[in-house]
Amino acid sequence: MREVIYQNIKAVQHKINLACTQVNRNPAEVRLLLATKTVNPYKIAQAIEMGYPLIAENKVQELKAKSEILTNIIHESHFIGHLQTNKIKEVLRHGVTCIQSVDRLDLAVKLNDRLKTLNQTIDILIQVNTSAEESKFGVIPQKAIELVEQIALLPNLKIKGLMTIGLFSTDIPKIQACYKLLKKLEIEIATLNIPNVEMNELSMGMSNDYEIAIQEGATIVRIGTAIFGEREYPDSYYWNEKTK
């Protein structure tokens, strides 16, 4: 098992390097995030120890269960799943340093309130639905700037950039369009120089399309299947409100 994970990570890193070279980017600008939903913590630990300390879960329950086992292994934990407001307290208990999936004001306000009580701040990314697929979360692109401006006023949230899930398709130009749109939004927002807003991170690209995302400017690629193998549950289990 260890050997398989090792070979997979090496192969992914190699492709990341190639994709960077093609567009004159330094591979050090692209972080490989391990998307660890459904993966058991011992396998996650193996991947972390191969030099990939950035991991992320989609569900607070899984985060909780695994963070206890991973406490003695140095790593950085992000959250990339749809976050319900009733899970805010819990998500903040397990050392998450960035919530990549903030996509609505009511969630941001409640997150900020809780952080104020704790006297803490947290990094966030704004999740944008660039594919216009109903099954995916994220603010619609037309409302993204307004949302950033509103969330910027919440002092305990530190906006660091944008996140998106690209279109599931074999049509490369359509996938590219999603990532180009996110990049365009990043530039627009950066130009506005909004106080309390940084636009340094673009989290985009998964197992099937991370090379395209890198070509369009990704700084974080979120990889699960290509490293840990196929999952038991379909992604609709994680991405669709109705199938919790």
Ligand X SMILES: *Cc1c(COP(=O)(O)O)cnc(C)c1O
Smallest distance from ligand X to CB 227, Å: 8
Backbone angles phi, psi at 235, to 5 degrees: -65, -20
Please report whether residue 238 would count as binding ligand X according to CB under 6 A.
yes
Stretch that binds ligand X, among 59-67, 135-143, 184-192, 221-229 (CB under 6 A): 221-229
C-beta of residue 125 within 8 angstroms of C-beta of residue 79:
no
Question: Which of 136, 110, 142 lies closest to 124, judged by CA?
Answer: 110
Smallest distance from ligand X to CB 128, Å: 12
Residue of this chain nearest to ligand X (CB atom): 224
38 DSSP 8-state letter: T
Smallest distance from ligand X to CB 216, Å: 16
State which of positions 153-192 bind ligand X (CB under 6 A): 165
Please report whether residue 43 would count as binding ligand X according to CB under 6 A.
no
Q: How far is residue 118's CA from residue 94's CA, in Å, rounded to a whole number? A: 14
Taking the alpha carbons of 110, 235, 56, 138 in that order, is the dihedral positive or negative? Answer: negative
Please report whether residue 206 would count as binding ligand X according to CB under 6 A.
yes
Residue of 58, 77, 130, 164 that binds ligand X (CB under 6 A):
58
Q: How far is residue 47's CA from residue 228's CA, in Å, rounded to a whole number? A: 9
C-beta of residue 48 within 8 angstroms of C-beta of residue 73:
yes
State which of positions 77-136 bind ligand X (CB under 6 A): 80
Please report whether residue 19 would count as binding ligand X according to CB under 6 A.
no
Residue of 207, 215, 237, 240 that binds ligand X (CB under 6 A):
207
Q: Give me the half-sphere count of Cα atoms (radius 13 Å) on the Cβ side of residue 226.
A: 21
Q: By CB under 6 A, name the binding residues for ligand X.
A: 35, 37, 58, 80, 165, 206-208, 222-226, 235, 238
